[in-house]
Amino acid sequence: MKKSVFFGALAATTVLAGSAFAGTLDDVKARGELICGANVGLTGFGAPDATGAYKGFDVDLCKAIAAAVLGDAAKVKYVPTTGETRFTALASGEVDVLIRNSTWTYSRDTDLKFDFVAVNYYDGQGFMVKKELGVSSAKELDGATVCIQTGTTTELNLADFFKSNNISYTPVTVGDDSEALRQYDAGACDAYTTDASGLAASRASLANPADHIILPEIISKEPLGPVVRHGDNNWGDIVRWTYYALLEAEEKGITKANIDTVGTSTTDPEVKRLLGLEGDLGAMMGLDKEWAKRAIAASGNYGEIFEANIGTSTPIGLARGLNALWTQGGLQYAPPFR
């Protein structure tokens, strides 16, 4: 009897707890701060700099959301999350949104009860080899030793790729990226495989980047994007459409520099709607008229964010590739703002 009362109370608390998540927008507004689950340190995507300020491609999306919701891009608290703690941090309500290069997969979306609201970076697993090896395709890597981080999906992808191409390899397992880089540099393995974005950063940090090439094969799909909890669709909409606003801004040529003037000079009704000069799109999500304008002004449009953090002008030097706009042969496509 006592036991059932206890479990009843527990269940009731859980129900209460579930309903407490429903109003993430209200929570964020009441708190005056967006809590963003960030990476503990990933080059170009999200890491604190020497002064402790978070910077990076993912971090700029956090800033855009904070600007849209709270009107100030600086009102973000970054909670560093590891690969192990990230999903619990989100599920338990410790963070409002998780923006730390998490791959959108079926089980995470359904079983873990999350919503991947957008894909802000299409990544995939690639290979880096030394030029002197004379290899131009991953299919020529028969018998090669490959450095691979243990306990990641990249390990499984690698096994699948070699099996399906009927070639053999010897894995050299390493703990993390820095160790992999060290082993690869010391010649302990012929090839290093991880996400292509990480490979580019690793290649840039080697003594002679020109001596190494990243092979053209991408052997897996890694769509990375912001994650929110199931059950609060309005909050999911806000994160999704803030991201799309950045995309749309790039497509329409709205930049950080011209955002104050483009509204008056343009004749495009969609730009006017986006900037809050016509209609009232923000109210449909519980925001004000200028939410998207502030989000874009925070760090610029999608293209500007990409170029500033990981683009070809940075040492990391990633090409847009799949992440180009759909008008330029990429996959980044924002639904219409109307």
Partner 1 sequence: MALLYVRRDMLAPQAPPASQSGAIHWVRDNLFKGPFNTILTLLAAWVLFELVSLSWPWLANGVWSGASSMADCRAAVAAKAGPDASGACWAMIRERWPQFIFGFYPPELWWRPILTFGLLFVALAPVLYADNKSAMSKLCGVVGVLTVICLIGADGFSFHTVLTIALFAALTAAAAIKPRLLLIVTLIFPFLALWMMWGGSIWGPISVMVGFALVVWVVITAQPKLGTIAATILAVLAFTAFFLDPISSVLDLAAGVVNFVASWFTSTNWHPTLAGSVFGLGFDLRNLLPLQPQVSEAWQAMLPYDLTYVASDKFGGFLLAFVIGVSSISISLPLGILLALGRRSDMFLVKTLSVGFIEFVRGVPLITMLFTASLLLQYFLPPQTKFDLILRVVILVTIFSAAYNAEVVRGGLAALPRGQYEAADALGLDYWQAQRLIIMPQALKISIPGIVSTFIGLFKDTTLVSFVGLADPLRGITTIVRADIAWKGIYWEPYIFVGAIFFLVCFGMSRYSMYLENKLKTDHR
Q: What residues line the site for partner 1 (CB under 8 A)?
A: 5, 8-9, 11-13, 15-17, 20-21, 27, 39-44, 47-52, 77-82, 84-85, 88-89, 92-94, 177-179, 181-182, 185, 201-202, 204-207, 314-316
Structure tokens at 277: 């000069």
Please return the burial class of 49, using the count of CB atoms within 10 Å of its CB with bins 0-12, 13-18 and 19+. exposed
The DSSP output letter for 281 is T
The DSSP output letter for 126 is E
Query: SS3 for 58?
Result: helix
d(CA 130, CA 184): 9
Structure tokens at 334: 């924002």
| Cβ-based nearer residue to partner 1, 164 or 186 | 186
| Cβ-based nearer residue to partner 1, 26 or 280 | 26
Residue 292 beta carbon to partner 1: minimum distance, rounded to whole angstroms: 28
| Cβ-based nearer residue to partner 1, 12 or 159 | 12
| Cβ-based nearer residue to partner 1, 94 or 260 | 94
Residue 183 beta carbon to partner 1: minimum distance, rounded to whole angstroms: 10
| Cβ-based nearer residue to partner 1, 97 or 181 | 181
d(CA 35, CA 281): 24
Q: What is the CA radius of gyration of the chain?
A: 22
d(CA 291, CA 245): 9
Which residues make beta-bridge pairs with 212? 130
Residue 12 beta carbon to partner 1: minimum distance, rounded to whole angstroms: 4
Residue 201 beta carbon to partner 1: minimum distance, rounded to whole angstroms: 6
Q: Residue 59: what residue type?
A: V
Residue 96 beta carbon to partner 1: minimum distance, rounded to whole angstroms: 11
